[in-house]
């Protein structure tokens, strides 16, 4: 069993007794969704965990997109539901690699003068159509109708309970989208509501409740506490949780990115402004059991490039592969440090 000793160091009794990972937490991260993918792929291939064992995914923004894609891929080709008895060899990573790295993403996220001008009218460069174009081939490969698939049907098809975090802009409150709370929402709309970063994407207006929604990272960038609260409430051990978080305030060199700097893009400036305002005025406490000192597995990744270097990643296969390889490197570090303190974002 994994426990946290008084010094904050994780201790591992043995590899054989380590509890299997059942729950994933994926933060926001824009282009670093590719890094999440690379990390989870490497851990799965090394049998450190098995995607077919996953019961819940708590996610925000880019984490929501990657978590959704990986969940769909748990459904075996030619079957109508995922098979949790399948081993690690059953997961088709090669096809996903080819799709994520090889697809010309600049045709989905087309940057032009018209795109910039439309931002003024649409409140964002892109709409739900871009996320639809991103996800449709993946869903179609498993015979899932992205146009109509609801959150309830998604759970029934994958066997994985998703919690997509978004922000209700009308009431400025965190909203947890799941098959329990929003069963009739389309999966496409729920994913978009969690991932529609302002300026880059237009906000989502729900036809169900007529509220407006924006990227969940505004209030819940890394939903580890909601996941731990869920585990406590459902008698699931916390050491079956793997959290993956992009450190938003620091880059790979340790530079503080929460302060203004020369050369910022418009999107970076907007994100910096809103993030610092929200850090001052917002607090979203989650009640956790203080007597439970079992800690989850976590990976905190420092970005090596601008979080919003979106255009470069859309055009460059090499850059996408580099981001995936970064995830694989962090996976190797995680597997090698089971008895050492964790890296943090401080």
User: Looking at per-residue confidence, does 261 or 192 come out higher?
Assistant: 192
Task: Tell me the β-bridge partners of 11.
Answer: 3
Which structure tokens are listed for 345? 């974002």
Give the per-residue pLDDT at 250.
47
Give the per-residue pLDDT at 281.
57
% of the chain surpassing 70 pLDDT: 75
Would you say residue 16 lies in a domain?
A: no
Which structure tokens are listed for 280? 């001052």
% of the chain surpassing 90 pLDDT: 59
Give the per-residue pLDDT at 17.
67
Would you say residue 14 lies in a domain?
A: no
**pLDDT higher than threshold 80 for residue 339:** no
DSSP 32-79: GHHHHHHHHHHHHHTTSS-GGG--EEEEETHHHHHHHHHHHTTBPTT-
Give the per-residue pLDDT at 307.
52
pLDDT tens track for 75-99? 876 544 455 555 544 688 999 999 9
**pLDDT higher than threshold 90 for residue 267:** no
Mean pLDDT of 2-9: 32
Give the pLDDT band of residue 40 (cuts 50, 70, 90): very high
Give the per-residue pLDDT at 271.
67
139 in Cβ contact with 73 (< 8 Å): no
E strands in the chain? 2-4, 10-12, 23-26, 56-60, 124-126, 161-168, 173-177, 199-201, 204-205, 212-215, 241-246, 297-301
Give the per-residue pLDDT at 58.
99
Mean pLDDT of 136-142: 96
Mean pLDDT of 26-34: 94
Find the domain containing 264 and state its range. 2-8+21-335
Would you say residue 343 lies in a domain?
A: no
Neighbours of 25 (CB within 10 A): 27
Rounded-to-10 torsion of CA 112, 113, 115, 119: 150
Mean pLDDT of 233-242: 95
Residue 221 CB contacts under 8 Å (≥ 6 apart), including other chains: 27, 28, 60, 245, 248
DSSP alpha helix (H) spans, 174-265: 187-195, 224-233
Task: Tell me the β-bridge partners of 297.
Answer: 242
Q: Give the separation between CA 308 and CA 257, rounded to whole angstroms.
A: 12
Q: Give the separation between CA 122 and CA 284, rounded to whole angstroms.
A: 30
Q: Give the separation between CA 143 and CA 229, rounded to whole angstroms.
A: 34
pLDDT tens track for 277-309? 666 655 555 666 666 667 789 999 988 766 558
CA dist 26 → 121, 277, 340, 342 (Å): 32, 24, 22, 17
328 in Cβ contact with 41 (< 8 Å): yes
Mean pLDDT of the chain: 83
User: Looking at per-residue confidence, does 306 or 135 come out higher?
Assistant: 135
Would you say residue 345 lies in a domain?
A: no
96 in Cβ contact with 117 (< 8 Å): no
**pLDDT higher than threshold 70 for residue 35:** yes
Give the per-residue pLDDT at 22.
97
Would you say residue 291 lies in a domain?
A: yes
Give the pLDDT band of residue 1 (cuts 50, 70, 90): very low
Give the per-residue pLDDT at 251.
46
What CATH number should be reported for the domain holding residue 172? 3.40.1090
Rounded to two decimals, the pTM is 0.85
**Considering its fold, how many domains does the chain have in total?**
1
**pLDDT higher than threshold 80 for residue 166:** yes
| Residue count of the chain | 346
Would you say residue 331 lies in a domain?
A: yes
Instruction: Kindly tell me the sign of the dihedral angle through the C-alpha atoms of 224, 91, 68, 116.
Output: positive
Would you say residue 346 lies in a domain?
A: no
**pLDDT higher than threshold 80 for residue 261:** no
Q: Give the separation between CA 336 and CA 160, rounded to whole angstroms.
A: 28
pLDDT tens track for 185-210? 999 999 999 999 988 899 999 988 88
**pLDDT higher than threshold 80 for residue 69:** yes
Would you say residue 118 lies in a domain?
A: yes
User: Looking at per-residue confidence, does 153 or 287 come out higher?
Assistant: 153
Mapped onto helix, strand or coil, the DSSP state of residue 345 is: coil
């Amino acid at each position: 069993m994994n426990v946290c000793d008084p010094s904050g160091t994780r201790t591992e009794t043995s590899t054989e007794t380590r509890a299997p990972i059942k729950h994933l937490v994926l933060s926001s991260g824009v282009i670093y969704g590719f890094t999440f993918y690379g990390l989870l792929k490497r851990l799965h291939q090394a049998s450190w965990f098995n995607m077919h064992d996953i019961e819940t995914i708590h996610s925000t923004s880019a984490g929501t997109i990657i978590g959704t894609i990986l969940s769909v891929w748990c459904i075996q080709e030619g079957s109508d539901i995922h098979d949790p008895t399948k081993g690690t060899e059953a997961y088709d990573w090669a096809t996903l690699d080819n799709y994520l790295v090889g697809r010309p993403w600049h045709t989905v996220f087309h940057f032009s003068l018209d795109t910039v001008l439309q931002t003024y009218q649409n409140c964002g460069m892109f709409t739900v159509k871009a996320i639809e174009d991103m996800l449709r081939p993946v869903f179609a490969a498993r015979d899932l109708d992205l146009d109509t698939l609801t959150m309830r049907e998604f759970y029934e098809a994958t066997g994985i309970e998703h919690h997509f975090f978004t922000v209700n802009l009308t009431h400025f409150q965190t909203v947890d989208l799941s098959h329990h709370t929003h069963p009739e929402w389309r999966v496409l709309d729920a994913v978009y509501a969690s991932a529609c970063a302002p300026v880059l994407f237009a906000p989502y207006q729900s036809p169900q409740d007529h509220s407006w929604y924006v990227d969940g990272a505004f209030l819940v960038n890394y939903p580890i506490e909601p996941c731990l609260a869920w585990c406590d409430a459902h008698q699931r051990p916390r050491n079956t949780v793997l959290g993956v978080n992009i450190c938003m305030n620091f880059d790979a060199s340790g530079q503080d990115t929460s302060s203004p700097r020369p050369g910022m893009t418009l999107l970076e400036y907007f994100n910096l402004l809103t993030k610092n305002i929200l850090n001052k005025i917002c607090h979203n406490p989650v009640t956790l059991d203080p007597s439970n000192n079992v800690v989850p597995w976590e990976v905190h990744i420092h970005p090596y490039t601008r979080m919003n270097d979106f255009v470069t990643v859309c055009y460059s296969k090499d850059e996408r592969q580099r981001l995936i390889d970064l995830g694989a490197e962090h996976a190797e570090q995680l597997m090698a440090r089971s008895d050492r303190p964790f890296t943090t974002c401080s």
